[in-house]
């Protein structure tokens, strides 16, 4: 169990700066998930921690010791690759024992470890097979098995589930969570699937263009996104953003004009009358027919998706702004019909013109 | 992505880009044409083989490919037609070819591994130079090399034919292996790095075991070209006991003064035979090797 | 960027050295070979070309004299040039045309492709050997197979093609053309790279097969044609064994098969004029380099690249 500390970590490829000063403290035994859009540098950051990619600037410390110059093998890290990267010519057993043999561990000890890991992952019956003879899910387990036999202090995962089908993904996700609970190692997990992020993480780190936008527990990120980007990135369906302007500042908040109507939103941050803001409302927080106290207007339905347990309603407000509503249960509504939509004041997120969250 | 190495396979035998659209007539025509061309191309070879089994007086009496009288006489005459038997020269050729194969496999795979998998200063520069030597005619270095080997006392030994191959002098094979190594997913190396393996262990335990196809290709080409080589043995080997089969055959041409065509053709057939056998066994590898490097020979 | 920052970004010497050592460790055999067997000899052969140097005695500096003599006072050099250029200019196009034609025919999705491919490839695998040169000598001799066939089929009594100076070179051209197989394989691989939907689109547009060949196949194949042409040209300049065996090492009859490499060999290893032969070698290098460069320069006018 060990800590990981990133101080102003940078990565440059020639003149291109891919990671632009990342600061992060990961405590021992924590499971941290990196999320962000494609190309934001998640893999690069992970590979720098692993030692596969030289660090261009800043300092990486593991367990308090500087690691920048240490070879990958000296960092006490194991990594699970997206494509599994199993050695195709070796049996499952050999795949798992390869690292231990590299360490010149005695044969009986290797055997003990491999068998124990195989048992934990329920792949004992597969030990003599070649990777080609395994299903995707089984390969995934072998890849994890290869990581755990060495008993590393830190696990890195780079989108380990993206090659699995939906069902297997859920199942393996649960198993990784269980694995983390069992062995309690520090884990860093890269994904662009936000459900994975929300369900697995002790802490989520949202990256954009090589910088950390926000980090915090899943609920912190969900409830208090620091900016429009994070707000839009976490949550499904995506948060709605409505253009609003401030009409009046009052002691208990601001009065904004929305679809012609005046709405009071609680807000402590300073913002003057006349400012243009973004009101963020999550689809699942929108109430139909007057349950919430902040009235958003009348929604004309343009499209409906029936998911069974949930219904996603797409529509337009009077001023043509689009809005997505996620309703619990099922509905008999059709397109063209209208809904009165509202929201509880505590579920309103206001962002300024630059996209920063205005504190509430 | 899969986790198996992608083996370059430029030649998939039976997929057909624009088949089935030809009329049966046209197809038959194409077949007939191809068959005719094949026959004309193979005729000299077939004639060589069949004549080697004919008695001397029959060789020029008929163009038929089937010997009327089958005899191994020409082989007997040819085998001992020189002061040193062809068997001896075949062994010389075999020894040289095997050593060259070993040298090429070791040295070229090392170079290819460095070029594709290791990071070091000047890699691009050296790689460009290596590609340059692919194109460079050997004549530019021939004479100084000869003089150097002369000084080493290596002339009239197999050293000049073998030793350079342990120094990756055949850039073609480096190129061939580079092409192949590039197809092996880099994540395998990285997984091995995470497993604590160094460059040598990755090379031996990951890259080489996955490279058996290209190693086999390189080995077969290497063997065939060395077996076939005439120029280098001609320059470096003087004593008939040291001769390769190719040199022996060429000497035999003079020795028979072109009077014993039967024996000459018999020995010709024998020197081609090993290549032909390798061709039958490894045809697919050879063809893929040519197709993936785009190099001819 | 601060100085502290820059130093931070570089691992210490020991770590950097470890990486370099790994790379150079594996490259070492090649590197040694390159320096000792290629670079050094190339330099010293250029030096030798400026000297008078034989088997006995030491190299005597004579400046450009060898080159002057090559250009102005060596009829055999010009014969060799003529023979070699004739050989290159005939054999390369012949090979290309055969290779392309057969490749296109084989690419029609016929059954038995693998067998035909193997048959056509075989000659280029064994064609460089002494045995084949010996065979060729027989086939084209006065009482050889060719004349037997000619007289059997047409009653034509042919001459000895090999010992007739006006035909001997063409027998070698034919021998080279016979070995079109490996170029054919490269063409086949190239043909397979052409996406099928191109043809489908063209068929829908109503293009005839001939038109498809001219408008799609050929342009898309130009990079392969170019590549083959360059490689074949270089190889043709270097041809040696067949001429040597067929002419008993003389380049005869009356120098009609005096390939450049053969002349070079004679000067170096029969007459032991190492200085002069080195100059000849460098002239060959320059010629090959010139033609390669020329092809690359011409490429932009006719070679079609996707990107
Ligand atoms: N070797 C390289 N040279 C130059 N740029 C690179 C290199 N490797 C990665 N990049 C760039 O760095 C950025 C980050 O890449 P990275 O692979 O870390 O993204 P990612 O967040 O993992 O994306 P994804 O979700 O698609 O995997 C990208 O813009 C990429 O183009
Ligand atoms: Mg990635």
Comparing B103 with C3, the larger pLDDT belongs to: B103
**Residue-wise pLDDT tens digits, B208-229:** 999 988 898 889 889 998 998 8
Share of chain C above pLDDT 90, in %: 10
How confident is the model at residue B9, as a pLDDT?
A: 40
Contacts 24+ apart (CB under 8 A), C148-153: C148/B60, C148/B62, C148/B63, C149/B63, C152/B63
Mean of the pLDDT values across residues C190-213?
A: 77
Mean of the pLDDT values across residues B16-32?
A: 69
Q: Is B208 on the interface with C (CB under 8 A)?
A: no
CA distance C184 to C228: 9
Put simply, the answer to whether B197 touches A150 (Cβ < 8 Å) is no
Neighbours of C106 (CB within 10 A): 22
User: How many Cα atoms occupy the beta-carbon half-sphere of B43 within 13 Å?
Assistant: 14
**Residue-wise pLDDT tens digits, B36-57:** 888 888 888 888 888 888 877 7
Q: Is B6 on the interface with A (CB under 8 A)?
A: no
Peptide bond into B88 cis (omega under 30): no
- Would you call A141 helix, strand, or coil by DSSP? helix
User: Which residues are within 8 A (CB) of B172 and not within 5 positions of it... i.e. 6 or more apart?
Assistant: B134, B221, B293, B295, B297
For chain C, the distance separating the N- and C-terminal CA atoms, rounded to the nearest angstrom, is 37
Nearest to A56 among C9, C12, C15 (CB): C9
Report the sign of the C-alpha dihedral through residues B251, B252, B253, B257, in that order: positive
Put simply, the answer to whether A98 touches B3 (Cβ < 8 Å) is no
Q: Is B79 on the interface with C (CB under 8 A)?
A: no
Share of chain A above pLDDT 90, in %: 42
For chain C, the domains span 2-48, 68-302
Nearest to A83 among B187, B196, B197 (CB): B187
For chain A, the average pLDDT equals 88
How confident is the model at residue A268, as a pLDDT?
A: 66
* Nearest 10 degrees: Cα torsion A70, A76, A81, A85: 90
Taking only residues 135 to 164 of chain B, the set having a beta carbon closer than 8 angstroms to any beta carbon of chain C reads 135-148, 164
Neighbours of A256 (CB within 10 A): 24
How confident is the model at residue B14, as a pLDDT?
A: 40
Mean of the pLDDT values across residues C113-129?
A: 86
User: Nearest to residue C282, comparing CAs of C64, C12, C134, C61?
Assistant: C64
Task: Give the pLDDT band of residue B236 (cuts 50, 70, 90).
Answer: very high
Query: Ligand 1: which residue has its CA nearest to atom 22?
Result: A43
CA distance C120 to A153: 61
**Residue-wise pLDDT tens digits, A220-243:** 999 999 999 999 888 888 999 988
How confident is the model at residue B293, as a pLDDT?
A: 66
Chain C residues inside the 8 Å CB shell of A69: 11-12, 15
Mean of the pLDDT values across residues B267-288?
A: 87
Mean of the pLDDT values across residues A77-101?
A: 92
CA distance A3 to A30: 9
How confident is the model at residue C66, as a pLDDT?
A: 83
Query: Per-residue pLDDT for B256 more than 80?
Result: no
Mean of the pLDDT values across residues C130-159?
A: 81
How confident is the model at residue B226, as a pLDDT?
A: 92
Q: Does residue B82 contact residue B248 with C-beta atoms inside 8 Å?
A: yes
Task: Give the pLDDT band of residue A313 (cuts 50, 70, 90).
Answer: very high
Q: Domain spanning C68-302 has what CATH number? A: 1.10.3720.10
Query: Per-residue pLDDT for A351 more than 60?
Result: yes
**Helix (H), strand (E) at residue C245:** helix C241-246
Share of chain B above pLDDT 70, in %: 89
How confident is the model at residue A156, as a pLDDT?
A: 93
How confident is the model at residue B1, as a pLDDT?
A: 35
Mean of the pLDDT values across residues B66-88?
A: 80
| Ligand 1 closest atom vs CA A207 | 21
Buried b (16+ CB within 10 A) or exposed e, C291-303: bbeebeeebeeeb
How confident is the model at residue C12, as a pLDDT?
A: 56
Put simply, the answer to whether C11 touches A68 (Cβ < 8 Å) is yes
The chain C residue lying nearest B130, using CA atoms, is C34
Neighbours of B220 (CB within 10 A): 20
Task: Give the pLDDT band of residue C6 (cuts 50, 70, 90).
Answer: very low
Chain B residues inside the 8 Å CB shell of C38: 133, 136, 141, 169
The chain A residue lying nearest C2, using CA atoms, is A57
How confident is the model at residue A44, as a pLDDT?
A: 92
Q: Is C11 on the interface with A (CB under 8 A)?
A: yes
Chain A residues inside the 8 Å CB shell of C2: none
A246 lines ligand 1 (CB under 6 A): no
Comparing C167 with A190, the larger pLDDT belongs to: A190
Q: Where are the beta strands (DSSP E) in chain A?
A: 4-13, 16-26, 31-35, 57-62, 65-66, 77-80, 154-158, 186-190, 203-208, 211-216, 240-250, 253-258, 261-265, 276-281, 286-288, 294-306, 310-316, 322-328, 338-343, 349-351
Task: Give the pLDDT band of residue C14 (cuts 50, 70, 90).
Answer: low
User: Nearest to residue C236, comparing CAs of C184, C281, C283, C291?
Assistant: C291
pTM over 0.90: no
Mean of the pLDDT values across residues C33-55?
A: 88
Q: Which residue has the tokens 């490429």?
A: C299
CA distance B245 to B78: 12
For chain B, the average pLDDT equals 83
CA distance A161 to B109: 35
Put simply, the answer to whether A83 touches B3 (Cβ < 8 Å) is yes
How confident is the model at residue A274, as a pLDDT?
A: 77
Comparing B64 with A327, the larger pLDDT belongs to: A327
Per 3-state DSSP, what percentage of chain A is helix, strand, and coil (rounded to 5)?
Answer: 30, 35, 35
CA distance C209 to C214: 9
**Residue-wise pLDDT tens digits, B153-212:** 999 999 999 999 999 998 889 988 998 898 899 999 999 999 888 899 999 999 999 998
Query: Ligand 1: which residue has its CA nearest to atom 26?
Result: A38
Chain B residues inside the 8 Å CB shell of C30: 107-108, 110-111, 114, 126, 130, 167-168, 174
Put simply, the answer to whether A99 touches B185 (Cβ < 8 Å) is no
User: How many Cα atoms occupy the beta-carbon half-sphere of A77 within 13 Å?
Assistant: 31
The chain C residue lying nearest B110, using CA atoms, is C26
Query: Per-residue pLDDT for B6 more than 50?
Result: no
- Using only C-alpha atoms, chain A has a radius of gyration, in whole angstroms, of 24
List, in order of start, the domains of chain B with CATH numbers: 19-71 (no CATH), 86-293 (1.10.3720.10)
The DSSP-derived string for B77-110 is HHHTSSSS-HHHHHHHHHHHHHHHHHHHHHHHHH
B4-13, C29-38, C85-94: range with lowest mean pLDDT:
B4-13
Please tell me which chains touch C, using 3 or more CB pairs under 8 Å as the contact test: A, B
Mean of the pLDDT values across residues A337-344?
A: 86
**Residue-wise pLDDT tens digits, B91-115:** 999 999 999 999 999 999 999 999 9
User: Nearest to residue C237, comparing CAs of C283, C284, C182?
Assistant: C284
Q: What would the 3-class secondary structure string for C96-129 be?
A: HHHHHHHHHHHCCCCCCHHHHHHHHHHHHHHCCC
Q: Is B294 left (phi over 0), alpha (psi -120 to 50) or beta?
A: left
Q: Which two tokens stand for residue C277?
A: 């032969």
Q: Which residue has the tokens 């008078």?
A: C52
Size of interface B-C (CB pairs under 8 A): 295
User: Smallest CA–CA separation between C278 and chain B, in Å?
Assistant: 7
Q: Does residue C80 contact residue C237 with C-beta atoms inside 8 Å?
A: no
Q: Does residue A76 contact residue A83 with C-beta atoms inside 8 Å?
A: no
CA distance C179 to C120: 8
For chain C, the average pLDDT equals 82
How does DSSP classify residue A239? P
Kind of pairing between the strands at A338-343 and A294-306: antiparallel
Query: Ligand 1: which residue has its CA nearest to atom 31?
Result: A39
- Would you call A32 helix, strand, or coil by DSSP? strand
User: Which residues are within 8 A (CB) of C252 and not within 5 positions of it... i.e. 6 or more apart?
Assistant: C165, C168, C258
CA distance A57 to A9: 6
């Amino acid at each position: 169990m060990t800590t990981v500390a990133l101080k102003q970590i940078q990565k440059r490829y020639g003149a291109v700066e891919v990671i632009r000063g990342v600061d992060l403290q990961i405590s021992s035994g924590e499971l941290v998930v990196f999320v962000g859009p494609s190309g934001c540098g998640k893999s690069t950051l992970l590979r720098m921690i692993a030692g596969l990619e030289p660090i261009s600037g800043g300092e990486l410390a593991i367990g308090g010791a500087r690691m920048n110059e240490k070879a990958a093998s000296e960092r006490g890290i194991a990594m699970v690759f997206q494509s599994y990267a199993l050695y195709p010519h070796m049996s499952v057993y050999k795949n798992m024992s390869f690292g231990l043999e590299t360490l010149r561990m005695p044969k009986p000890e290797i055997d003990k470890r491999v068998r124990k890991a195989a048992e934990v992952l329920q792949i004992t019956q597969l030990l003599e097979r070649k990777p080609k003879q395994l299903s995707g899910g089984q390969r995934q387990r072998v890849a994890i098995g290869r990581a755990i036999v060495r008993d590393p202090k830190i696990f890195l995962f780079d989108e380990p589930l993206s090659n699995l089908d939906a069902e297997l993904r859920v199942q393996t996700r649960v198993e990784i969570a269980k694995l983390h609970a069992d062995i309690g190692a520090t884990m860093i997990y890269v994904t662009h699937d936000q459900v994975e992020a929300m369900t697995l993480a002790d802490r989520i780190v949202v990256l954009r263009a090589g910088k950390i936008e926000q980090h915090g527990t899943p609920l912190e990120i969900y409830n208090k996104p620091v900016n429009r980007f994070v707000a839009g990135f976490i949550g499904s369906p995506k948060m709605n953003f409505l253009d609003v302007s401030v009409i009046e500042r009052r002691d208990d908040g601001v009065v904004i004009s929305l679809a012609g109507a005046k709405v009071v939103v609680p807000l402590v941050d300073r913002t003057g009358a006349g400012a243009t803001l973004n009101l963020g409302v999550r689809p699942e927080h929108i109430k139909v027919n007057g349950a919430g106290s902040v009235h958003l207007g009348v929604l004309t339905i343009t499209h409906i998706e029936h998911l069974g347990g949930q219904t996603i309603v797409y529509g337009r407000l009077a001023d043509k702004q689009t809005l997505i509503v996620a309703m619990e249960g099922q509905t008999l509504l059709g397109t063209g019909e209208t809904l009165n939509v509202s929201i509880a004041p505590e579920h309103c997120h206001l962002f300024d013109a630059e996209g920063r969250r205005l504190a509430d | 992505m899969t986790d198996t190495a992608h083996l370059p396979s430029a030649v998939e035998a039976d997929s057909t880009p624009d088949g089935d659209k030809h009329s049966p007539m046209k197809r038959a025509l194409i077949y007939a044409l191809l068959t005719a061309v094949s026959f004309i191309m193979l005729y000299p070879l077939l004639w060589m083989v069949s004549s080697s089994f004919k008695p001397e007086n029959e060789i020029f009496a008929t163009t038929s490919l089937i010997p009327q009288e089958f005899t191994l006489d020409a082989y007997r005459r040819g085998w001992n037609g020189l002061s040193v038997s062809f068997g001896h020269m075949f062994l010389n050729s075999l020894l040289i070819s095997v050593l060259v194969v070993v040298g090429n496999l070791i040295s070229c795979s090392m170079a290819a591994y460095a070029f594709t998998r290791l990071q070091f200063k000047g890699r691009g520069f050296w790689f460009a130079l290596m590609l340059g030597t692919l194109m460079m005619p050997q004549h530019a270095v021939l004479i100084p090399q000869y003089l150097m080997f002369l000084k080493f006392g290596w002339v009239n030994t197999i050293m000049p034919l073998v030793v350079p191959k342990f120094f990756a002098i055949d850039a073609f094979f480096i190129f061939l292996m580079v092409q192949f190594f590039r197809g092996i997913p880099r994540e395998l190396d990285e997984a091995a790095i995470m497993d604590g393996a160094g460059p040598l262990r990755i090379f031996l335990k990951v890259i080489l075991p996955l490279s058996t196809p290209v190693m086999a290709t390189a080995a077969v080409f290497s063997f065939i070209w060395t077996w076939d080589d005439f120029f280098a043995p001609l320059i470096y080997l003087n004593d008939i006991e040291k001769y390769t089969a190719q040199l022996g055959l060429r000497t035999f041409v003079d020795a028979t003064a072109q009077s014993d065509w039967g024996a000459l053709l018999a020995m010709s057939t024998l020197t081609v035979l090993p290549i032909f056998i390798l061709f039958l066994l490894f045809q697919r590898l050879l063809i893929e090797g040519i197709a993936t490097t785009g190099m001819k020979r | 960027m601060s100085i502290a920052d820059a130093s931070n970004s570089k691992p210490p010497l020991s770590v950097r050295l470890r990486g370099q050592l790994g790379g150079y460790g594996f490259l070492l055999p090649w590197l040694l070979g390159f320096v000792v067997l290629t670079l050094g000899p190339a330099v010293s052969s250029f030096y030798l070309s400026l000297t008078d140097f034989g088997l006995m005695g030491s190299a005597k500096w004579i400046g450009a004299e060898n080159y002057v003599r090559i250009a102005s006072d060596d009829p055999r050099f010009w014969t060799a040039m003529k023979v070699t250029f004739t050989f290159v200019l005939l054999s390369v196009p012949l090979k290309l045309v055969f290779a392309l034609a057969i490749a296109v025919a084989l690419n029609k999705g016929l059954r038995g492709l693998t067998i035909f491919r193997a048959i056509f490839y075989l000659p280029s695998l064994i064609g460089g050997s002494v045995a084949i040169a010996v065979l060729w000598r027989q086939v084209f001799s006065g009482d050889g197979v060719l004349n037997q066939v000619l007289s059997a089929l047409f009653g034509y009594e042919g001459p000895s093609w090999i010992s007739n100076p006006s035909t001997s070179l063409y027998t070698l051209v034919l021998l080279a053309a016979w070995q079109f197989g490996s170029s054919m394989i490269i063409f086949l691989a190239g043909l397979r790279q052409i996406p099928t939907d191109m043809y489908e689109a063209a068929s829908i547009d109503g293009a005839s097969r001939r038109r498809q060949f001219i408008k799609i196949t050929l342009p898309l194949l130009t990079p392969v044609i170019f590549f083959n042409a360059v490689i074949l040209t270089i190889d043709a300049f270097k041809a040696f064994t067949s001429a040597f065996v067929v002419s008993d090492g003389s380049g005869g009859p009356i120098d009609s098969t005096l390939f450049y490499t053969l002349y070079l060999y004679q000067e170096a290893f029969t007459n032991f004029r190492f200085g002069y032969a080195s100059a000849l070698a460098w002239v060959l290098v320059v010629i090959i380099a010139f033609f390669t460069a020329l092809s690359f320069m011409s490429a932009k006018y006719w070679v079609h690249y996707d990107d």
